Structures are given as C-alpha cells and as structure tokens.
Amino acid sequence: MSDTKKKDAPNDETSPAVSPSSMAQKIQVAIVLVSLLGLAVAIELTHIHYESHTNPDFNSICAINEALNCETVARSPWSVFAGLPISVWGMLAYTLFGILGFHALLKKKVLAGFYLVSSLGALVTSGLLAYISTFLIKSLCLFCTTLYVVNSALFILGIVLVRTSRYSPIRAIWADIQFVASRLQFYIPFSVLFALAVVLTYVLVPAYWKTSSYDSLPSMASGVTKEGHYWIGAKNPKVTIEEFSDYECPFCRRAHYNARMMVARHRDDVRLVHRHMPVDNKCNEYMDTAFHERACEFAYFVECAGEQGKFWQMNDALFGLQETTNARNVDLEELAETLLLNLEKMSECVKSAKTVQKIAADIDEGNQRQLPGTPTYFVGAQPYPGSVPERTLLKYIERAK
C-alpha cells in the first residue's frame, strides 16, 4: 500500500516542479492556445487603436453605437498606459504567457503556480479596465470584452492546473520558483531578451496618439471676415484655407493643430478660416443621430466666446482640454471663467437665434459642398479631406505670387 501511495503522490518536496500528468499537459496546451487567441485579439486592438488615431476614414467592425464602440475606447486617454497603448502591453503579456507555456511543455513540467498568479493579475486588470470603460469612458469595446473572457478562461485553467498538480497554490508557486532557479541558464537570458523587446517596442512605436500641446501654438493676427467667420494668419492672404470642423472630433483636434502650425510657418501668405460642422443632430438636420453628442453645444459656445473677443482662445482651450478629458466631462462654465468671459452674456448668446442661425448656415454650406467628413479643408473650390498637404499649399502660394 505504501508503494501505491508513492506512485500516486506528487513529486517530493525537493522537486523543483510538478511532473505533468496527461490531464495537466492538456490543460497547458489549452493555456497556450488561449494565450494565442489573446495575442490575436490584442493585435487587432492595436490596429484599431492606430487607425482610430491616424485615419479619419477608418470604421471598425465593432463601432456599433455610442454604447458599443471600440473606436471611442481607443481614442480615450485611458487607452494608453506608461507610454504605450494597453493593447501593446497585452501583446507582450500574451506572448510571454505563450512562450513560457510552450517551454514548460517541451520540458514536461507544470507551471501551475506561475499560471495562477499571472492569470489572476490579468483578471484583476480586466476588472479595472471594464470599470473604466463602463463608468468613465461610458462605452464598451467588444474586442476588449473578448480579452476579459480570455483572461477569465486563463484564470480558470490556472485553478484547474493547480488542482490537477495536487499542490496547494502556495506550494505550486514555490515549486515554480524552484523550477526557475534550477533553469537560470535559460530564464536569465530570456528575461534579458524580453526586457530588450519591451525597450525596442518603446523605440519603434511612435506616440501617434499624442497631439502637441495647444498651449504651444504661436500667436498670429486674427479677425473676422466680412461674412462673419473667424480667421487667423495673414492679414492680406495670398491663399485662404477654409476649415470645416467638429469640436468633438479627435481627428479635427489633431488636424487643426497641424493646420495652425502650418499657417504659422507661412503667416504672411496664408489665412485659416474656421467653419462649423458639428456631427450632431441637435443642430445638424442632416444627421440621423447625435454621433458627437456635445458637438453643437461646443460650436455655440466657441462662437459666443468670439462675441467677447475670445474665439481662438476658447477654440484652443476646448480642443486642448479634450486631449485628456472625455467630451462628456468638459465643464464649459469653468472654461469660460478661466478665459474671463461674462457668463451671463454667454448664456444668453448660446440660446440666441443669431448663434443658432450662424451654425446652421455653416452646416448648410458644408452640405451643399458635399463634405466627405470632418475635418475637410478647402482652398477655393478644391476640397482636401483630413488636411492640406504643405507641398500643395506651397504650390498655391507660388502660383499666387
């Protein structure tokens, strides 16, 4: 009977890891496969994150509505952690998970403790991200939710693997520490290579999600056209660029900054004229839904700041604030107080027929020009969706001269 017990019992206390049973091997194979699924989803999320920040024409398959929208989540400040998109951290984590799992299979060992601790960390991270998405961003990402399920599955598999090893969780963790200690000739170089991979990721992944601070925009001459549109740049322009923009559009925020910097480089020749095109059915009758639910409100507010001589200050403050703050959380009264605006006059202005009609006129003009989207720029009758290339602008300037 004592011989039978020895056969059935796990490795003795001096063993650095558990020798796997057939079931344990299958569970580890399942863990590697689930990790590969997580890696594939993380790669797609990274693609969505990149396109959402750089491509105005991008439409993700999971951008269903305001409540279920991967793009909304990707564009939020919460999508980046420690200088890298969270999806990139996911790619690194699932790659690590898969490689170590595959190594354990080759060595015929069970890393039950490692899987349990790592998957618990992934599960806690999922819970935190789900909370942020639900209550702070107020929009869910279906691919992110898929990763929450993947992490839950990894945690369950980790629990089952510990039970299969017949070790307690603490003993399983200690066994894995012993296993790693006995294989330092592999794990030290592997750790160095993984650290180098993280450093290389920092080097190779540009901060495409960042827009330079609106506080750094150079000052220029500004005024109002005879039609009543606000301009900035050249007092006597050789080239005039019209910009149709939406204050809740992240591409507009980036494109406007770039346009202002380009105009500053040619401030004696080029003028930028702002036109409103809020993608919001509260004031845009050509929209079926309030795609940007505060775009009309923002347009009214900026226009009314202009009535008090602070159009470009409010324009820059509103665009700049949304680099770190969700549009839902923007406090317009606080912005007005910061810019020393008269709140009573602002309140009257945003409700006035004059302001409503002015925004409506811009929207009608944009519709007549058949805008492909926001932002869209015009030089004369020629549209430039997204931006006016500087080399093209130089040709216009030379032609005008």
Percentage above 70 pLDDT, the chain: 95
**What's the whole-model pTM score?**
0.72
Alpha carbon distances (Å) from 242 to 43, 314, 340: 38, 19, 28
Q: Give the model confidence (pLDDT) of 257-316 as tens digits.
A: 999 999 999 999 999 999 999 999 999 999 887 788 899 999 999 999 999 999 999 999
Length of the chain: 401
Q: What HEC string does 143-204 produce?
A: HHHHHHHHHHHHHHHHHHHHHHHCCCHHHHHHHHHHHHHCCHHHHHHHHHHHHHHHHHHHHH
Q: Give the model confidence (pLDDT) of 357-391 as tens digits.
A: 999 999 999 999 999 889 999 999 999 999 999 99
Residue-level pLDDT at 123:
96
Q: Give the model confidence (pLDDT) of 210-257 as tens digits.
A: 876 788 899 999 999 999 999 999 999 999 999 999 999 988 998 999
- Nearest Cα to 72, choosing from 122, 144, 127? 144
Strands 230-233 and 222-224 come out as: antiparallel
Domain 214-400 class, CATH top level: alpha beta
Query: In the structure encoding, which two tokens stand for residue 276, read together?
Result: 């409103």
Residue-level pLDDT at 17:
56
Question: In the predicted model, is pLDDT for residue 111 greater than 80?
Answer: yes
Residue-level pLDDT at 19:
52
Q: What is the mean pLDDT of residues 61-88?
A: 90
User: Which alpha helices (DSSP H) does 216-277 contain, by range?
Assistant: 250-265
Q: What is the mean pLDDT of residues 106-135?
A: 92
Distance CA 289, CA 279 (A): 9
| DSSP code, position 237 | -
Helices 353-368, 295-307: crossing angle, 10 deg rounding: 120
Query: Which residues lie closer than 8 Å to 341 by C-beta, 6 or more apart?
Result: 305, 308, 310, 314
Query: In the structure encoding, which two tokens stand for residue 367, read together?
Result: 């519709």
Strands 84-85 and 222-224 come out as: unpaired
Query: In the structure encoding, which two tokens stand for residue 149, read together?
Result: 């399920």
Q: Give the model confidence (pLDDT) of 14-36 as tens digits.
A: 344 555 678 888 998 999 999 99
Work out the widest C-alpha separation in the chain, in whole angstroms: 102
Locus of tokens 């030089």: 379
| DSSP code, position 247 | T
Q: Which CATH number fits domain 12-204: 2.40.100.10, 1.20.1440.130, 3.30.420.40, 1.10.3720.10?
A: 1.20.1440.130
Distance CA 59, CA 214 (A): 27
pLDDT band with cut points at 50, 70 and 90 for residue 10: very low
Q: What is the mean pLDDT of residues 54-80?
A: 86
Question: In the predicted model, is pLDDT for residue 171 greater than 70?
Answer: yes
- Nearest Cα to 386, choosing from 378, 372, 376, 394? 376
pLDDT band with cut points at 50, 70 and 90 for residue 3: very low
**Exposed, middle or buried: residue 295 (CB in 10 Å: 0-12, 13-18, 19+)?**
buried
User: Does an H or E element contain 376, and which?
Assistant: strand 376-379
Distance CA 130, CA 126 (A): 6
Q: What is the mean pLDDT of residues 101-127?
A: 89
Given its phi and psi angles, is residue 273 left (phi above 0), alpha (psi -120 to 50 degrees) or beta?
Answer: beta
Domain range list for the chain:
12-204, 214-400
Residue-level pLDDT at 288:
85
User: Which alpha helices (DSSP H) does 282-389 contain, by range?
Assistant: 295-307, 311-321, 332-338, 343-350, 353-368
- The DSSP secondary structure of 51-83, one letter per residue, reads HHHH-TT---TTB-SSSBBHHHHHHSGGGEETT
Residue pair 379/388 in contact (Cβ under 8 Å)? The answer is yes
